[in-house]
Structure 1
Amino acid sequence: MSVWPAPSVRHADRMDTRNRSPIVEWLLEGDPSVRWQVLRDLEHGPDAAVRSEREKIATSGWGARLLAEQGADGRWAGGLYSPKWTSTTYTLLLLLWLGLPRGNEQALAGCRVLWDGATFFGGGLTLAKTVKVPEACITGMLVLLAASFGYHDDRIEPAVEWLLDNQLADGGWNCAAIRTGSTHGSFHTSITVLEALHAYASAGGAVPVRSSLRDGRDFFLNHSLFRSHRSGKVVDTAFTRFPFPPQWHFDVLRGLEHFRLSGADRDARLDDAIHVLRNARGPDGRWPRHQPYPGRYWFTLEQPGQSRLATLRALRVLDWWKTDIRAGSFGS
């Protein structure tokens, strides 16, 4: 999941708060990282109000707590990729998904540590000490973070070109392709790379990625987002859950979010995924918190029960599905 580019909506000068639904009111009682996205994506509020709320992420709530954990060397938890999920990579990903504004100095310092600490193989990267080959997933994560936070480095373009060169014939990507010769895309790796290429293009990247993005989305459409292209069966029932943060995992909500943000037309092959999302809604109109992935966390974002994060993410996807609004420019 990410905060990604906002759909193109002409913001009014003032928000009409008189007809807010109880669910929106409840969402606006949450963390600044939730509130700014509600104002932008559900309320379509004025830019100034959205920007003001977003800027609070660095000074209060979850975002401020995460930033406070950064070490003097620019790292989190003393590591680049491990421990999961408190390392520099995964803390920056969480800050991105919460909406920390582009250009934040602490985020840029963290990006610099990652790019300087990575091992390069002809453009591809790895952060794992035990892996001696480049990995599409890690390369994608570093491109995503750099493009999203505005980190500039001469190695970014070669990394993007490496990702394009390592796209598989089915349109997907797979970290195991180099190690094992696998020719089928991985759902996990593919969504990470798609998000990275979309962020890179939206940030004005010089390398053309449009055709690669199209083929990557076709990979998911040919699988109805989460089904086997051969049997039609659900590839993994875990895909029908959507914990936050998603970490390196694919799920139907994360996939639908990419299609929404990419400006893609609605496609009937996404119907099953939309059905899964709608069925997860509780009788009160809200979505539940799914159990986070096992590992270390700086703190608990939400307690078991109703989830503001899941509800926000689901509502804006369903709004896109209903209205088919196209995405705007990245980094607003």
Structure 2
Amino acid sequence: MHSDSVIAWLLDSDPSIRWQVMCDLMDAPEVEWAAERAKVEIEGWGARLLSCQDEDGQWAGGSFVPAGFDYSEWRESGQPWTATTYSLSQLREFGLDPSSDRARRTVELIGTNSRWDQGNQPFWEGETEECINGRTVADGAYFGVDVSAIVERLVGERQGDGGWNCQRAKGSVRSSFASTINVLEGLLQYEKATGGTTESREARRSGEEYLLERRLFRRLTTNEPADERFLQFLHPNRWRYDILRALDYFRSTAMLSGADPDPRLREAIDHLRARRLEDGTWPLDWRLPGRVWFDMDDGPGKPSHWVTLRAMRVLGWWERQAKPV
């Protein structure tokens, strides 16, 4: 399958995929991809997820876990992904227009009615863990909420090695890949929305350096992969880390700043290229267990629209911008 036929396969999908293909891979005029993006609210996965929303603006009656959730299910079947925080992040990934009446109403209702399971504080004040707060910043900044107080807190919670770890409050003094990418995505979205602050921009740079020093997946101590699953492709990532998520982040930040790609990304880029299937697509390697509203791919081992979209835009950016060795 050649590039043109892969793009045709991507376009024969959901509006949330199509508008990003048109924008990121085809360089279509904004008037065209914006019209496709507007369909996210009324067609396909976006409309389906919005149809699951509660009258009070939440999903599944809770902020982080569904109302009345029995934690034995987490132990037996996996973490649930149907509550408000993960549903809202999914709408952001779909590209729901934040200026739409539905988006504005959702943000308002969540601010009024949703409180965190841990601490009972209002949703837009943030939770206690860095991972969760990173995504809350990303969602809030995207949907036009003032999340500056959470940003300030995250800036002050950096580890000495430059990144973040949601186990900090339990005594961890080292950063984790997963916590760091969640916070970085939040800080980047905040910077896109507001310009950021001197402190938030510096914190973002230190978090990026944490990942780059490790070539996105290696331990500094042994140079071995920190986790073999970092090299396997997952969607939706939720809070989990893989190199494609990190590469897509670095593509986004370079597009904001105009900087050239960092050469320390090359090993991850080479791995991404090597994982391309003969038909030009990329597979979904694994899927997180746990309760979901619906699946968006055919399952592990099969070509994935989402993984392929992200891989193609990362490689397109790299090949346009990276300097020869």
Q: CA RMSD in A?
A: 2.1
Moved over 4 A (4+): 112-116
Of the structure 1 ranges 104-113 and 188-197, higher mean CA displacement relative to structure 2 is found in 104-113
Contact 2:97-2:103 within 8 A present in 1 as well? no
CA deviation string 1:39-89 (max 9, x = no partner): 000000001001000000000000000001101011111111114211110
Q: Kindly tell me: are residues 292 and 106 of structure 1, through their superposed partners in 2, closer, same or farther at Cα, counting changes over 3 Å?
A: farther
Q: Kindly tell me: are residues 114 and 228 of structure 1, through their superposed partners in 2, closer, same or farther at Cα, counting changes over 3 Å?
A: farther
Contact 2:229-2:242 within 8 A present in 1 as well? yes
Structure 1 unaligned runs (5+)?
1-18, 127-133, 326-332
Distance 1:68 1:172 in 2: 37
After the TM superposition, which residues 1-332 of structure 1 pair with which residues of structure 2 at under 5 Å, given as runs? 21-83=4-66, 84-112=80-108, 115=111, 117-118=115-116, 119=119, 125-126=126-127, 134-151=128-145, 153=146, 156-180=147-171, 182-205=172-195, 207-208=197-198, 209-263=200-254, 264-304=259-299, 305-324=302-321
CA deviation string 1:281-321 (max 9, x = no partner): 10111111233200111112121321111111100000111
Which residue identity lines up with residue 141 of structure 2 in the other structure? A
- In structure 2, the residue matched to 1:14 is none
Q: Which has the higher contact order (CA 8 A, sep 6+)?
A: 1
Shift of 1:251: 0.5
Aligned length: 295
Q: Kindly tell me: are residues 137 and 231 of structure 1, through their superposed partners in 2, closer, same or farther at Cα, counting changes over 3 Å?
A: same
Distance 1:115 1:163 in 2: 20
Output the TM-score relative to the length of structure 2.
Answer: 0.85
Q: Kindly tell me: are residues 20 and 216 of structure 1, through their superposed partners in 2, closer, same or farther at Cα, counting changes over 3 Å?
A: closer
Q: Percent identity?
A: 40
Q: What secondary structure sits across from 1:203 in the alignment?
A: helix
Q: Kindly tell me: are residues 322 and 169 of structure 1, through their superposed partners in 2, closer, same or farther at Cα, counting changes over 3 Å?
A: same
CA deviation string 1:231-262 (max 9, x = no partner): 11001111112211100001100000110000
Distance 1:178 1:110 in 2: 31
Distance 1:205 1:147 in 2: 11
Q: Kindly tell me: are residues 258 and 50 of structure 1, through their superposed partners in 2, closer, same or farther at Cα, counting changes over 3 Å?
A: same
Which residue identity lines up with residue 235 of structure 2 in the other structure? F
CA deviation string 1:199-243 (max 9, x = no partner): 001101553322111111000001110110111100111111221
